[in-house]
């Protein structure tokens, strides 16, 4: 059996795990990254696409932003469409910041390439991962490598960046964690199409028939979403029906034109809010989707993962510089404040923009009044802008 020794073992090669390994490398801390999926799978998996200003700055400061600066789309605001009219929220004017549209799969491609170029020990297609001795000073990870050989990874700390269904959170003893969660009574039907975007920036639409989001991945590829049932059958949504429904949810006063093109991907995304407290146990620290899930309306998932590992990298650096465990002990407390603020914003955006079947006509009118206030008031629009572009990192 192969035995490997490292300082930090990272389980999961999504954005959280890969950003963490780079931040640790910049501080001279050795890590090994284990990923259950293939390199092709993680580089082609379409997820989030809106990066907060802080995430962009973090990637640039880590030397990971060259292609993002070249190909990413800087957006200074969003349009909110309701009652057949459009109102623009100008982030740049309101809070002096922007967001960048750059797909998660593109971020992951950049991170993988940089990791391999730096000689990072990055293993794909590992299986049978299990974690042991979490409460002691030397945790152990057992797994089978790509060739099917058994291996052990000995480390000082484990970073659980393996997603909502990963092994890390599930390995923490029962009773040590508390979970807060909410499932929403709708989902998003998402499509990618070879067509120009509806507009230069995102349009969020609240419509009587349900929510719609008009986004993009590039000037040639559009990303579109429709509110649907959580159990929606994609077979009932041929391309023509999707385009017709998108046009309906854009209708009203001066609707922008909706270019059509080849739909090359369809999926249904359930809507969930989930938080784990605490985000650590012994020498295991959870980050990203392993610790929390937000509904995508607020564009916070990848950004929260980046914030988590930024905090974790600082805490680990303090340990290796001074031997102090104080920052690691405070990791959960530090991250959870930001996470709950992001959960609040994501819940608020979701509640304000979606159609709830159980709502009375009174509640529907209140929802429209909320949209009218937020988009028509300087104070309301500033609050939305401040949260959307990302709250400042805590030092």
List 184, 225, 331, 388, catalytic entry: 388
Tokens of 41: 């799978």
> 280 and 333 in contact (C-beta within 8 Å)?
no
SS (H, E, C) 137-183: CCCEEEEECCCCCEEEEECCEEEECCCCCCHHHHCCCCCCCEEEEEE
* 216 phi/psi in degrees, rounded to 5: -160, 165
List 97, 292, 300, 354, catalytic entry: 300
Tokens of 189: 């039907």
- Verify whether residue 102 is a known catalytic residue: no
- Verify whether residue 266 is a known catalytic residue: no
- Verify whether residue 75 is a known catalytic residue: yes
- Verify whether residue 281 is a known catalytic residue: no
* Sign of the alpha-carbon dihedral angle for 14, 96, 367, 347: positive
List 184, 204, 225, 281, catalytic entry: 204
List 139, 197, 295, 296, catalytic entry: 296
CA Rg value for the chain:
22
Tokens of 108: 């992951």
List 75, 97, 207, 354, catalytic entry: 75
> 193 and 221 in contact (C-beta within 8 Å)?
yes
DSSP 68-99: HHHH-EEESEEEEEETTEEEEEEHHHHHS--E
The angle that helices 361-376 and 378-389 make with each other, rounded to 10 degrees, is 90
* 263 phi/psi in degrees, rounded to 5: -85, 120
Sheet holding 73-75, edge to edge: 50-51, 99-101, 73-75
- Verify whether residue 204 is a known catalytic residue: yes
The four Cα atoms 376, 86, 102, 32 give a dihedral, to 10 degrees, of: 50
Shortest CA distance to 176 belongs to which of 211, 135, 119? Answer: 135
Q: Which residues form the catalytic set?
A: 75, 204, 296, 300, 388
């Amino acid at each position: 059996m192969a035995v490997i020794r490292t300082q930090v073992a990272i389980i999961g090669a999504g954005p959280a795990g890969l950003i963490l390994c780079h931040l640790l490398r910049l501080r001279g801390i050795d890590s090994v990254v284990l990923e259950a999926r293939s390199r092709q799978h993680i580089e082609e998996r379409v997820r989030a696409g809106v990066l907060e200003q802080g995430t962009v700055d973090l990637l640039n400061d880590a030397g990971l932003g060259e292609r993002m600066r070249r190909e990413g789309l800087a957006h200074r605001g969003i349009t909110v469409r309701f009652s057949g009219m459009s109102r623009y929220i100008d982030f740049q004017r309101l809070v002096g910041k922007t967001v960048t549209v750059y797909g998660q799969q593109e971020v992951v491609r950049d991170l993988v390439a940089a990791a391999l170029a730096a000689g990072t020990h990055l293993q794909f297609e590992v299986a049978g991962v299990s974690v042991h001795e979490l409460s002691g000073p030397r945790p152990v990870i057992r797994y089978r490598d790509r060739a099917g050989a058994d291996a052990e990874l000995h480390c000082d700390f484990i970073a659980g960046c393996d997603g909502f269904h990963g092994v890390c959170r599930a390995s923490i003893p029962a009773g040590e964690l508390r979970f807060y969660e909410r499932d929403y009574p709708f989902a998003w039907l998402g499509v990618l199409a070879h067509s120009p975007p509806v507009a230069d920036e995102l349009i969020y639409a609240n419509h009587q028939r349900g929510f719609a989001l008009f986004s993009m991945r590039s000037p040639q590829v559009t990303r579109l979403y429709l509110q649907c049932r959580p159990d929606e059958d994609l077979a009932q949504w041929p391309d023509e029906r999707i385009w017709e429904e998108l046009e309906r949810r854009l209708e009203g006063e001066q609707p922008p034109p909706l270019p059509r093109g080849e739909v090359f991907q369809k999926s249904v995304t359930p809507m969930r809010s989930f938080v784990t407290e605490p985000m650590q146990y012994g020498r295991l620290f959870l980050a990203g989707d392993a610790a929390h899930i937000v509904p995508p309306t607020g564009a916070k998932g990848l950004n929260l993962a980046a914030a988590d590992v930024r905090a974790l990298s600082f805490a680990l650096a303090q340990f290796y510089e001074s031997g102090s465990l104080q920052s690691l002990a405070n990791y959960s407390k530090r991250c959870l404040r930001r996470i709950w603020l992001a959960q609040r914003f994501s819940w608020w955006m979701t509640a304000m923009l979606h159609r709830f079947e159980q709502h009375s006509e009174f509640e529907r009118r209140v929802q429209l009044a909320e949209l009218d206030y937020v988009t028509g008031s300087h104070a309301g629009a500033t609050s939305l802008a401040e949260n959307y572009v990302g709250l400042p990192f805590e030092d």
